[in-house]
Structure 1
Amino acid sequence: MPYFTFLRHDDAHTVEIPLDSDEVMPGIHWGDPCALFTPAYWYTQALMSEGNGSAPRAHRIGNTFEEEVTACLLGGYGIPAEVGLAAFKRLRSEGIIRNLCSDPSAIQKLLREPLEIGERLVQYRFWHQKSEYLANAYSELEKREFSMHDPVSLRNQLLRISGIGPKTASWIVRNWLDSDEVAILDIHIVRAGLLAKLFSPSDRVARDYASMENRFICFASALSVRTSYLDALIWATMRMTPRLVMRLLHPTKKTLLRSPSNLPMQVLLPLA
């Protein structure tokens, strides 16, 4: 069996790892731990990040469940994490969340104003749509009781709220309950799954969420890594290397990235 050596603080650690030809799941090989985005790569990334301080200690963004719902609804596809977080902080500071404001026009007014991201002013996209979703969500949060001890039941309840789909509902549940029973299948997780042969090009999140989620949870278990942690690790890594990822997914297409033609080798990318 091969061995993998890595540093944790001031100590060298060596672990035995499977052969690259061994299967981590039926039909999916471990691969080389020094080749980017293989199952072995994610396993060794998890090992190293546990000891370098980059492993996430908690996933919650908000201090209350209402804040968590808001933060997750403001994020998602097409919204950079930094922009969604800035919009969330604005609504929180203006009392929108605390008061469970169900007036979409009041929310729109705040989301339409440019957000300060570092030294830049950025416009929040989808301000009209998200304002409607948030106003509706606040109305539902005010009148419903939610199951806070059963992750799957909580997700099913959230899915009954207009504007909250499986990915957003799973994100809220993962964050608030620190649950490993759900997975957040955003674009970065899906791309990583394609590169690891966990998903196929015919898989569609909108149609196949349950089966894809089950495969991801089984994948995390096979790697002996918590689902919630693996999800966060993959997301943080993949979002930092979009051009490289697209080059690997579509090797016949030209990209702006200049790099050798051989498969890129492992680097440790710290979690944000």
Structure 2
Amino acid sequence: MESNPTPIVTDADTDALVLRDDRDGVVTLRLNRPLQFNALSEAMLDALHHALSDIARDAGVRCVVLGAEGKAFCAGHDLREMRGTPELAYYQALFARCSVVMQAIQALPVPVIARVHGVATAAGCQLVGSCDLAIASDAARFAVSGINVGLFCSTPAVALSRNVSCKRAFDMLVTGRFIDAATAADWGLVNEAVPSAELDDAVARKVAEIVSKSPTAIRYGKAMFYRQRQMPLSEAYAYAGDVMARNMMEEDAGEGIDAFLQKRPARWRS
């Protein structure tokens, strides 16, 4: 059954910065600073990191959906907060903190789907690029627009350039221009762009596809997928072969192959 939304961390005004809903192994996280367009304040980053850490320890989670309240998905870093402490050490610590959160998404053993319904700019675009999958409303728009205020979006560039081609990423970074959801899908930043009224249904379909598969195989696969991308080809094949062999030794693999041969639905044991 669906629980009531659980606040993860609170602002001084007691509004929860991240809301968590659980239903049948699917966790939905929602950024909740709608009046600030869900800007990633220090407290918001801590809230999101805390939520991701909790999920990483929960063996019952099968999939995560990351969305947001209000009109925007995420407008990036909180520029007003950043200007309040004009110190190099502060900025270095802030961007390191943000990088830890982005990497925590890919470190989760289960898929994370970004549900993007409005603008995703700068670190908000980075957040989309850091998720394993992304489904966007056709009203969503994307940009790495720090250049417009004299700041090259260096950390968002890391995630962006791992999703779209170098020339397309660099064009966005040096112009600050927005792309629409259809372009984001064409370029590979998101998987699908759907009409706004169909966004939740599209996310639900993707979630259903994922949770119908073996949880053990998904966990093996996600960890392998990101690790092998950093390896030379021969090393990647050696590593992937070992992972696949270990996956074959799991009960789910035996059950899945037997079910296929016997022309019946698999009954996952994990």
TM-score of the superposition, structure 1-length normalised? 0.30
Choose between structure 1 and 2: higher strand proportion. 2
TM-score of the superposition, structure 2-length normalised? 0.30
Greater length-normalized contact order (CA 8 Å, ≥ 6 residues apart): 1
